[in-house]
Amino acid sequence: MKTIWHDVECGSYAADLEIWEDLAKGADGPILELGCGTGRVALHLARRGHEVVGIDRDDELVLALADRAAGLPLEDRLADAREFLLDTDIALALGPMQVLQLLPDRESRLNCLLTIGAHLLPGGRVALAIVEQMPEPAGEGAPPPLPDVREVDGWVYSSLPLDVSEENGAIAIRRLRQTVSPSGELREEENEIRIQALSADQLEAEAIRAHYRPVGRLTIPATDLHVGSTVVVLERGRP
């Protein structure tokens, strides 16, 4: 079920793909995706001829990616973004969809940056997407949010955003997941994801401690279903 819900809630998102593709074109070597899931970004880049390594700590998602990546220049690895060891050095590391904010604290983010840095080729870069603030609440009379929906083998899966709140330095995102069987039976449950509050200034300051230098920021626009985000671009310096 993890694979299905990952595809429902993330699979159709495309607002960031142009940015990752442009960054990949400027990379002279393999590309690493952190938290690759079922391969939304990794597969997109591999299909365009880039050599990609995707890591994720969920074995079900990694197995799904391995099946989808057959014949492509894509290596899947079961690994934690805070501590991993690759067989190859990389020219670019990508962290789409706020994957860095899923880490629990600053120490975890620092470990992640240091581990990436140990694998970066000279001149290698890291690009990390973050949400800097919660979206403004919809005004009175605004239409309700639309659910992410996907049909698989006659089953319909729907994920409806319920609310977003800030609690103890984290952003909590609640969704209602609904499953409708081919015979019309409805099942539903609430799901919550927490991401750590993080600004671009804060991330850049932490990156400097890990021997990076900030080299730019890019903007991913908001969509009807997803908030906009900032991509912080870093370059590895000398330790």
Q: Contact, 20 vs 231, CB < 8 A? A: no
Q: Report, as an integer, the average pLDDT of 209-226.
A: 91
- pLDDT-based confidence at 238, cuts 50/70/90? low
Does 139 have pLDDT greater than 70? no
Interior angle at CA 226, CA 165 and CA 217, nearest 5? 95
Does 6 have pLDDT greater than 70? yes
Distance CA 224, CA 214 (A): 30
Closest CA to 5 of 224, 193, 195: 193
- pLDDT-based confidence at 136, cuts 50/70/90? low
Does 133 have pLDDT greater than 80? no
* 135 or 115, which is more confident: 115
Q: Could you give the percent of the chain with pLDDT greater than 70?
A: 95
Q: What is the DSSP string of 200-222?
A: HHHHHHHHHHTTEEEEEEEEEPP
What are the chain's domains?
Answer: 2-133+197-236 (3.40.50.150), 148-195 (2.20.25.110)
Distance CA 223, CA 158 (A): 18
Q: What stretch of H or E contains 190?
A: strand 186-196
Residue 145 burial class via C-beta count within 10 angstroms: exposed 0-12, middle 13-18, buried 19 and up: middle
Question: What is the model's pLDDT at position 164?
Answer: 86
Q: Report, as an integer, the average pLDDT of 97-125.
A: 96
Q: Could you give the percent of the chain with pLDDT greater than 90?
A: 82
Instruction: Tell me the whole-structure pTM to 2 decimals.
Output: 0.92
Q: Report, as an integer, the average pLDDT of 202-208.
A: 97
Question: What is the model's pLDDT at position 140?
Answer: 59
Helix, strand, or coil here: 69? coil
Q: Report, as an integer, the average pLDDT of 77-90.
A: 96
Does 141 have pLDDT greater than 70? no
Strands 170-180 and 212-220, bridge-based pairing: unpaired
Distance CA 207, CA 201 (A): 10
| Residue 88: both structure tokens together | 């190859």
Interior angle at CA 41, CA 13 and CA 4, nearest 5? 60
H-type alpha helices, the chain = 2-10, 17-25, 40-46, 59-68, 106-117, 200-209
Distance CA 33, CA 99 (A): 10
